[in-house]
Amino acid sequence: QVQLQVSGPGLVKPSETLSLTCTVSGFSISSGYYWGWIRQPPGKGLEWIGSLYHSGTTYYNPSLKSRVTISVDTSKNQFSLKLSSVTAADTALYYCARVRDSSAAFDIWGQGTMVTVSS
């Protein structure tokens, strides 16, 4: 059974870099699939942040592209998100998920972690 677990600080100061890690269990990232990050501000809808393939190919949300880096560590079976120069607008529940196939459907989701940007 494939499971995803997000970890990282729940509080980040404005202008600093938000860093989260998604650990995958029950499946080897290097075996394939795209993997992605999605966020949800409190009381609002879903926003795609970006996705990557195990080889390192990445796609980013155009509105966040200048601040986002998604990377993979196949040795740890993890992929990570870094979002720089954060503001209060980046306060959200952050999810990691597996992309099912070329449909870009996220079929397995982690539980999500709340990140608050505040001094």
Partner 1 sequence: QSVLTQTPSASGTPGQRVTISCSGSSSNIGSNTVNWYQQLPGTAPKLLIYTNNQRPSGVPDRFSGSKSGTSASLAISGLRSEDEADYYCAAWDDSLNGHVVFGGGTKLTVL
Assess 33 for contact with partner 1 (CB under 8 A): no
Position among 51, 78, 80, 91 found at the interface with partner 1 (CB under 8 A): 51
Query: Do residues 90 and 118 lie in contact, with contact meaning Cβ atoms separated by under 8 Å?
Result: no
Query: Do residues 24 and 33 lie in contact, with contact meaning Cβ atoms separated by under 8 Å?
Result: no
User: From residue 93, how far is each of 28, 34, 41, 46, 54 by CA, in Å?
Assistant: 25, 21, 6, 9, 24
- Find the helix or strand (DSSP H, E) in which 13 lies: none
User: How many residues lie near partner 1 (CB under 8 A)?
Assistant: 22
Assess 88 for contact with partner 1 (CB under 8 A): no
Position among 12, 72, 79, 110 found at the interface with partner 1 (CB under 8 A): 110
Cα gap 102→119, rounded to integer Å: 40
Assess 36 for contact with partner 1 (CB under 8 A): yes
Q: What's the start-to-end Cα distance of the chain, in Å?
A: 39
Assess 107 for contact with partner 1 (CB under 8 A): yes
Position among 5, 47, 54, 74 found at the interface with partner 1 (CB under 8 A): 47
Position among 87, 100, 114, 116 found at the interface with partner 1 (CB under 8 A): 100
Instruction: Summarize as ranges the residues that interact with partner 1 (CB under 8 A).
Output: 36, 38, 45-48, 51, 59-62, 95, 100, 103-107, 109-112
